[in-house]
Amino acid sequence: MGIKTLSDLTLQNKRVLLRCDLNVPIKDGVITDDGRIVASLRTVKKLLDTDCSIIVVAHLGRPKGEPSKELSLAPIAKRLGELLNKEVEFSGEITGLIARAHSLKAGQILMLENIRFISAETSKDEQERLLLAKELSTYADVYVGDGFGAVHRKHASVYELAKLLPHAAGNLISSEVGVLEKLTVNPERPYGVVLGGAKVSDKIGVISNLLNKVNVIAIGGGMVFTFLAAQNKQIGKSLVEIDLIPTVKDLLNRAEKLGVKLILPTDIVVAKEFSASSQPTIVAADEIPNDQMGLDIGPQSAEYFAKEIIKCKTVFWNGPMGVFEFPEFAHGTKIVAQSLTQVRGISVVGGGDSAAAVRKLGFEDKQFGYISTGGGASLEYLEGKELPGLVALS
């Protein structure tokens, strides 16, 4: 699908409505990972070079249409200003701002409050979304979509709004789509995918779609226990989605028939409770005691995963191997992240928790081929789904 890019728009002295994804983790009012704000800088700077004014629309968390102090974009406007070394004005309002938007001079930036404070943004009712989009469209001359982490959502500021104004994708979305095309159209081989995270239900579609495309799939994280259960292994108190065991059995059979190497851990780090202070023990993957739960892949498995990843020319990784937030259960994720930095080809870290994990574990963005800003969006793209936000920009 061809999406329009910034070079397709006339931006000189225009008012640009820029949809960003600034959904960053904030704890007690402090931003703990500004990766997504940094990722939006290229587009913002490019727009400023054209002497336009910018109205930034973004979301934070899931406020479900209710304003909340914890989910205000005020600290994000401040951080964006610091990174740009210029003032970013902030409006606590979202609607009724036509006069303020039209009074912006070239080079000025106004960030609106969290768009999801308005229930119409995420409404299932197309007319409600369209009304909000129409209001926002009066603020600007052109629309630039750059919030990759939200392109899989049919939301007013992502889908309807793009259709109401001359539009294009910002640099971030263009880069993300370029990288995802490398993963789906003639990828260099061997092609390996590493999937983790808590739930197998989040990844079933991706595994199913990628089985025809990849050479190796390694599975870790909480989702692995549904795979082990499907092989009739003892998983103790570990997380499991029992209703998906038949589906997982089918995937295991398909992988075998297609000659895809599907790797599961042979050892697991277990503990009695889901807690940072829990005492870890290493056990064989088929001998998890009844009173224990798996919280990470074991060291032997981590080394084996790493060995297989390093052989690949194309690698996509989404989802941690264990509870990386607890130091005792972060080893598997760290070893996998380390191996991605040694890939002699393209290594892509697929947004969300994986991006947070590599930064928390002390890696730098530049050590990887690409760190995506969109977990869910990347996965849905790799599932072969149509993403509304990209359709609207094409």
- Asked if residue 389 belongs to a known ligand binding site, the reply is no
| 65 is an active site residue | no
Task: Determine which one of 42, 199, 311, 360 is catalytic.
Answer: 199
Distance CA 393, CA 370 (A): 22
- The answer to whether residues 343 and 306 touch, using CB atoms and an 8 Å cutoff, is no
Give how far Cα 222 sits from Cα of 182, 278, 295, Å: 28, 17, 7
CB atoms near residue 242 (< 10 Å): 8
- Asked if residue 128 belongs to a known ligand binding site, the reply is no
- Asked if residue 146 belongs to a known ligand binding site, the reply is no
Q: Which of 223, 318, 204 is nearest to 265 (CA)?
A: 223
- Asked if residue 22 belongs to a known ligand binding site, the reply is yes
Task: Determine which one of 222, 298, 376, 389 is catalytic.
Answer: 376
Distance CA 306, CA 270 (A): 21
- Asked if residue 59 belongs to a known ligand binding site, the reply is yes
Task: Determine which one of 298, 322, 332, 352 is catalytic.
Answer: 352
Task: Determine which one of 14, 36, 129, 334 is catalytic.
Answer: 36
- Asked if residue 107 belongs to a known ligand binding site, the reply is no
| 376 is an active site residue | yes
- Asked if residue 239 belongs to a known ligand binding site, the reply is no
- Asked if residue 100 belongs to a known ligand binding site, the reply is no
Q: What are the DSSP calls for 279-345, one per residue? A: PPEEEETTEE-TT-EEEEE-HHHHHHHHHHHHT-SEEEEES-SS-TTSGGG-HHHHHHHHHHTT-SS
Torsion of CA 231, 236, 237, 239, to 10 degrees: -20
Bond preceding residue 190 cis, omega within 30 of 0:
yes
| 352 is an active site residue | yes
- Asked if residue 344 belongs to a known ligand binding site, the reply is no
- Asked if residue 325 belongs to a known ligand binding site, the reply is yes
Indicate the pairing of strand 15-19 with strand 30-31. unpaired
- Asked if residue 28 belongs to a known ligand binding site, the reply is no
| 36 is an active site residue | yes
- The answer to whether residues 185 and 228 touch, using CB atoms and an 8 Å cutoff, is no
- Asked if residue 19 belongs to a known ligand binding site, the reply is no
Give how far Cα 20 sits from Cα of 60, 172, 383, Å: 11, 9, 23
- Asked if residue 359 belongs to a known ligand binding site, the reply is no
**Would you please indicate which residues are annotated as catalytic (active-site) residues?**
36, 199, 352, 376
Q: Which residues line the annotated binding site for ATP?
A: 203, 294, 325, 351-354
Q: Tell me the binding residues for (2R)-3-phosphoglycerate.
A: 36, 116, 153
Show binding-site residues for substrate.
Answer: 21-23, 36, 59-62, 116, 153
Annotated binding site: 21-23, 36, 59-62, 116, 153, 203, 294, 325, 351-354
